[in-house]
């Protein structure tokens, strides 16, 4: 396969995977029909969901293609990129290892974000194994550079962050990994909320926590 055909095949595959990711989020209740977005990087190109298109209606030709500076390289007439495009690009600029990003407003993680609370616990093995913690980044207005002005202080150590008063942002080497982080974060947030309603969670021994965090 020559270079042009290979790139065309990669584009089609990644656009299909983005659609499958956001539709799975919709089907599992992590997003509503119009909210949230996802992107993936292929070399120096980024593909991202369009703004104001219902999840069930997305098609491959609706995915917006940009470069890492945010210049639009390909889009369907009448569509525009997600308003959070520049937020996604900032993650790619700061993290060379990240190839995919998922952003949503899942209920329990967003509740922590609204309260300005990190998601962390010395009682739950899963948060320590998978995340260490999910920090809450100070508020910035969505759709503006302010939403990502503090990213450089938080992103290097974590696969997920909360955006204060807004929602959840997860990332990984693949869309599957980024989605799995979003799913795990929501499950952990829900578990911690329920546990606190039942009583006082029993913390794990400090030595055990150190081993889990390794």
Query: Is residue 126 annotated as a catalytic residue, yes or no?
Result: no
133 burial level (CB within 10 Å; 0-12, 13-18, 19+): middle
| 169 touches 160 (CB < 8 A) | yes
* Structure token digits, residue 64: 């917006």
25, 65, 84, 183: the catalytic one is 84
Listed in sequence order, the DSSP H helices in 77-157 are 85-94, 107-114, 125-130
Residue with tokens 């995919």: 100
CA 190 to mean position of chain CA atoms:
18
> Strands 100-104 and 37-42, how do they pair?
antiparallel
Please list the active-site residues.
84
């Amino acid at each position: 396969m020559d270079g042009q055909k290979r790139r065309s095949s990669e584009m089609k595959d990644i656009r299909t995977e983005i659609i499958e990711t956001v539709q799975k989020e919709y089907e599992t209740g992590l997003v509503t029909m119009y909210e949230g977005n996802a992107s993936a990087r292929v070399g120096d190109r980024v593909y991202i969901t369009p703004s104001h298109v219902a999840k069930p209606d997305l098609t491959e030709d609706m995915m917006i293609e940009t470069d890492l500076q945010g210049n639009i390289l390909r889009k369907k007439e009448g569509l525009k990129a997600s308003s959070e495009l520049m937020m996604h690009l900032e993650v790619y600029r700061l993290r060379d290892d990240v190839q995919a990003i998922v952003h949503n407003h899942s209920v329990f993680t967003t509740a922590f974000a609204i309260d300005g609370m990190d998601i962390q616990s010395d009682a739950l093995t899963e948060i320590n194994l998978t995340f260490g913690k999910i920090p809450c980044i100070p508020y910035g207005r969505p759709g503006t550079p302010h939403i990502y002005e503090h990213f450089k202080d938080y992103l290097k150590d974590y696969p997920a962050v909360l955006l204060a008063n807004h929602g959840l942002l997860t990332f990984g080497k693949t869309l599957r990994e980024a989605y799995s982080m979003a799913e795990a974060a929501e499950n952990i947030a829900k578990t911690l909320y329920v546990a606190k309603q039942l009583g006082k969670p029993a913390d794990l021994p400090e030595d055990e926590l150190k081993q889990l965090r390794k």
